[in-house]
Structure 1
Amino acid sequence: MISKYRKQFNQEFTSEKYEEFKEILKQKSGLIPAFRLSESPMFLSHEFKNKLIDASESIIDQIKELPKGTLEKAIPENCKVPNDTAQPHFFTIDFGICRSENGEIEPQLIELQAFPSLYAFQKVFEDTFCELYPFLNEIKSKIPQQEFQTYIRELIVDNENPENVILLEIYPEKQKTAIDFALTEKLLGIKTVCLTKVKKEGKKLFYEHEGKNIQINRIYNRVIFDELDRIPDLKLEFDFREEADVQWVTHPNWFFKISKFLLPMLKHQFVPKSYFLHEFPESERLENFVLKPLFSFAGSGVNLNPTKEITEAIEDKENYILQRKVTYEPVFEDINGEFSKAEIRLLYIWREQDERPILLENLGRMTKAAMVNVDFNKKDAIWIGSSNAFFVED
């Protein structure tokens, strides 16, 4: 979109630099990324960023103004966790990069979550782009590394000893996001602990380190609670639904409360119309909508072309939405003159003492496929996968 920076990046890009890029990330984290990394960042205008911020601020306002108890309705009865919090610690919003009817590039809301994304990884990702392409330093994020680390430390560790704070995941070594766990450990000095290794004595939780039981006071939660039921023969000492003397970052209930459940309630120029499946009006045409389960992750269960037969066969219609289709615009030119489409995720943190969340970073996903998910791309394509956006003057 921004010809000056796109042209310079494409001129400087080589496949050798891309391999070096991945090697630097491996050295910094100790792991090879388990998901595809785009060869290129995304260059977006400040005008486009202002549209993103305008939509996000409106969405935040609308969430804050919802009647008390509205969000609680999203939590399945079998997934309610005690000691909920007044607000989430994380807030992420995904927008597709689209073209409006009048020809302008604009964002369109895809989904939103109060679940941690790749906060530690994205900062390192951006810095690594800048190391290999020094001209990017003039347009990099204005939040320096030390300030970023302070924000994340205050949010996740707070005043606790880092050894009493854990990053909690189920089988973390098998997760595609393991590289983010490793970088979080380096950033904060905390341990990543598998849920199967958590011990419970009364209301206190512990993990074992070097033969000693270490009490857990604060949990940086990366477990998607409702997915635990799908893991066969899972043996746990700790059930999320039990009372425990811990502080959650962020509380598991927020995974449900800030989710696609909210989409039918939101109104904005950059928010496509959405309906719960059981409330879909006859006046609308099904072919203009995408079918999405409320609590899916990484694009699972999404149907781009739902039919009446498919929707009528769904029994729990209240757990699905229909969202008006948007058209992603291929605007990111690669070295072969082909173009990629993309989504951008804004990564906010929401400290307990703050009225509003703070935008810290962004995450991009580039594609040449129908769905913007790294699993749906052809293996020989370029300018696809996880990316990062740089905002520049038009």
Structure 2
Amino acid sequence: MIPKYRKQFNQEFSEEKYRKLKDILKEKGGVEPGFRISESPIILSKEFETQLINASESIISQINALPAETLRKAIPENCRVPNDTDRPHFFTIDFGVCRSENGEIEPQLIELQAFPSLYAFQKTFEDAFCEVYPFLSEIRNPMPHETFKSLLKELIVGDENPENVILLEIFPEKQKTAIDFALTEKLLGIKTVCLTKVKKVGKKLYYENNGKLTEIKRIYNRVIFDELDRIPNLNTEFDFREEVDVKWITHPNWFFKISKYLLPLLQHQFVPKSYFLHEFPQHENLEDFVLKPLFSFAGSGVNLNPTKEITEAIEDKENYILQRKVSYEPIFEDINGEFSKAEIRLLYIWRENDERPILLENLGRMTKAAMVNVDFNKKDAIWIGSSNAFFAEG
């Protein structure tokens, strides 16, 4: 979309530079990313960035206007966690890079979450791109490093000693996002702890820190709560639904409250029409919609071509939505003259006393497949996988 920068990147690109990009990430994180790294950044216009942010601001205003009870209804009864908060600490929102009916390139909302994404990794990724391709520095995210670090530290660590703050995950070493955990540890001075290692005494939680039992006062939560039931033979001392003396960053209830559950309630030119499955009107054509489970992660359970037989066989229809299909536009040219599609996630933090969240960074994903998930790509494809978006004057 910005021919000058795309042309320069493609001219400068080499396999050697791609290896260097990945080596920098491995060196800084101490582990290799568990997901594919795209060879290319996503380069878009400042005008597109303005559209992204304006759409997000409208959606944030609509969420702020919703009654608390509407949001509470999103939480399944068996997943309610005590001591909820008035705000989520994180807000992430995904847009596809699409083409409108009048031929314009525009964002279209895909989904939104109040769940932390790869905040530490994406800042490092942006740095790595700029290190390997210095010209990208002139169009990078203008937020200074120290500001980024201090905002994230204020949110996650707060006034506590970092040793009393943990990043909580289930079997973190097996997660594809382990590199983000490692970078978060370096950035904030906190430890990553597996849920199975958390010890409970009364209402207090502890973990073993260098051989010493240490109290946990704040949890940077990376556990997808509703996935715990699907892990066989999981032995833990601590159940999320128990009342404990700990501060959640962010509270697990928000995973449900800001989710695909909200899509039928939102209105904007960049928000595709969505319906709960049990409320899908007869006048709409099923072929124009994508079927999505309300609470799934990384695209699991999504059906791009639902049929009446499939939808009628679903018993818990209130836990699914139908979202109008959008057309991802392949506009990111690779070195072979082929084109990739992309999706951009805006990464916000939301401090408890703030009316609105603060945009910190972005996350990009590139694909040549029908879904923006690298598992669906051909093995020899390029310009696919995790990326970072840069915005330039056109």
Range of TM-score over shorter length: over 0.9
Q: Which amino acid aligns with 2:370?
A: A
Give runs of aligned pairs for residues 90-109 of structure 1, distance below 5 A: 90-109=90-109
Corresponding residue for 1:136?
136
Q: Which residue of 1 aligns with 2:273?
A: 273
Aligned-partner Cα distance in 2 for 1:361–1:210: 33
CA shift, 1:211, in A, is 1.8
Aligned to 2:123: 123
| 1:3 matched to 2:36 | no
Superposition pairs for residues 245-324 of structure 1, below 5 Å? 245-324=245-324
* Residue 228 (1) aligns with residue 189 (2): no
Deviations 1:87-146 (A, max 9, x none): 000000000000011111000000000000000000000000000101111111101111
SS at match of 1:378: coil
Q: Which amino acid aligns with 2:287?
A: E
- Matched AA of 1:385: G
Alpha-carbon separation, structure 2, partners of 1:379 and 1:364: 19
Note the C-alpha offset of 1:379: 1.1
Partner deviation per Cα, 1:62-100 (whole Å, 9 max, x = no partner)? 001112310000000000000000000000000000001
Q: Which residue of 2 aligns with 1:327?
A: 327
- Residue type at the aligned position of 2:101: E
AA matched with 1:34: G
> 1:326, 1:155 → 2: CA distance?
35
Report the secondary structure of 2:364's partner residue. strand
Structure 1 residue aligned with 2:38: 38
- Per-residue CA deviation, residues 285-335 of structure 1 (Å, 9 max, x unaligned), is 000000000001000000000000000000000000000000000010000
How far apart are 1:377 and its partner, in Å? 1.0
Partner of 2:182: 182
Map residues 19-58 of structure 1 onto 2, 5 A cutoff.
Answer: 19-58=19-58
- For 1:91, what is the secondary structure of its paired residue? strand
Deviations 1:213-258 (A, max 9, x none): 0000000000000000000000110000000000000000000000
- Aligned residue for 2:73, secondary structure, equals helix
Other-structure match for 1:158: 158
Distance 1:68 1:235 in 2: 34
Show CA shifts across 1:34-84 (max 9, x none).
100000001110110111111101100000111231000000000000000
Q: Which amino acid aligns with 1:369?
A: A
2:348 match: secondary structure? strand
CA distance in 2, matches of 1:283, 1:354: 42
1: CA distance, partners of 2:148 / 2:4:
28
- Give % identity: 81
- Pairwise CA RMSD: 0.5
Within 5 Å, give how 1:353-364 maps onto structure 2: 353-364=353-364
Partner of 2:199: 199
State the 4+ residue runs in structure 1 displaced beyond 3 angstroms: none
1:376 shift after superposition: 1.1
Normalised by the size of structure 1, how large is the TM-score?
1.00
**1:189-219 Cα distance to aligned partner (Å, 9 max, x none):** 0000000000000000000022210000000
- Aligned residue type for 2:80: K
CA–CA distance in structure 2, aligned partners of residues 274 and 157 of structure 1: 37
Partner Cα distance (1:156, 1:2) in 2: 36
Q: Counterpart of 1:310 in structure 2: which amino acid?
A: I
Aligned equivalents of 2:250 and 2:374: distance in 1? 26
Distance in 2 between residues matched to 1:145 and 1:367, nearest whole Å: 29
CA distance in 1, matches of 2:331, 2:363: 17
Per the alignment, residue 14 of structure 2 pairs with: 14
Secondary structure of the residue aligned to 1:19 is helix
Q: Note the 1:331-370 alignment, pairs <5 A.
A: 331-370=331-370
CA distance in structure 2 between the partners assigned to 1:165 and 1:135 by the alignment: 38
In 1: Cα distance, 2:68 partner to 2:224 partner:
25
> Residues of 2 paired with 1:68 and 1:11: CA distance?
52
In the other structure, the counterpart of 1:170 is 170
Q: Separation in 2 of the partners of 1:68 and 1:272?
A: 24
Compute the TM-score of the two structures, normalised by the length of structure 2.
1.00
